[in-house]
Amino acid sequence: MANEVKLVAGVATNHGFHQYHYDLDKFQIYLPLSLFTNTNLAAINHESASLTLQKINPTASWNKPPQVLNTEVFEKKHGRETELTHQSWIEAACNFVPFAANTGKDGTSGDWCKCWDQHFGFFESCPDAVNSFPAILELDI
C-alpha cells in the first residue's frame, strides 16, 4: 500500500503528523507542544480511532460541524504541555518545526518555519537553559 511505512529493526521510526494535527492548525485551534513529542506522535497515530474528538463551530459554513482532537482530554491521559521536561520540550520543538514547514508557505525556506525555528532556538540558546527551563516553558506557552 502506498501509505504504509516500512519498518526496519533498530532504526527509529518517524511517526509523522496525523490529520488531527493538520485539522487543529486549519481551524486555528491552539496546538500544545505536548502533541509533538515522539511518544505522543506515536500515540495519536496508533490510537487515532479511539481518541476523544470535539465538535467545533468554525466561522465558515459547513454541512456538518467538523470534529477535531480534544487536546484537553488527550493531555490528561498523555501529559500536559505544562509538564514537559527540558528534554521532551526540545524533542517536541524539533518535531514542531517540520510541522510548521508543512503548514506554512514555502516549506522549510518559508517565514513560518523560520519563525518557529528561531523561536525555539532563542529559548534553547539562553544561558543556563536547563536550570532556567521552568521560566522558559512558562514564557514559551
DSSP conformation letters of 67-129: EEE-HHHHHHHH--GGG--HHHHHHHHHHHHHHHHHHSTTGGGSHHHHHHHHHHHHHHTSTTT
pTM: 0.86
Using CA atoms, how far residue 76 sits from 6, 13, 22, 28, 139, in Å, is 32, 25, 21, 21, 21
pLDDT digits (tens, 9 = 90+) for 3-51: 555 656 665 556 689 999 999 999 999 999 999 999 999 999 999 999 9
| pLDDT attached to residue 57 | 84
Domain boundaries, the chain: 19-140
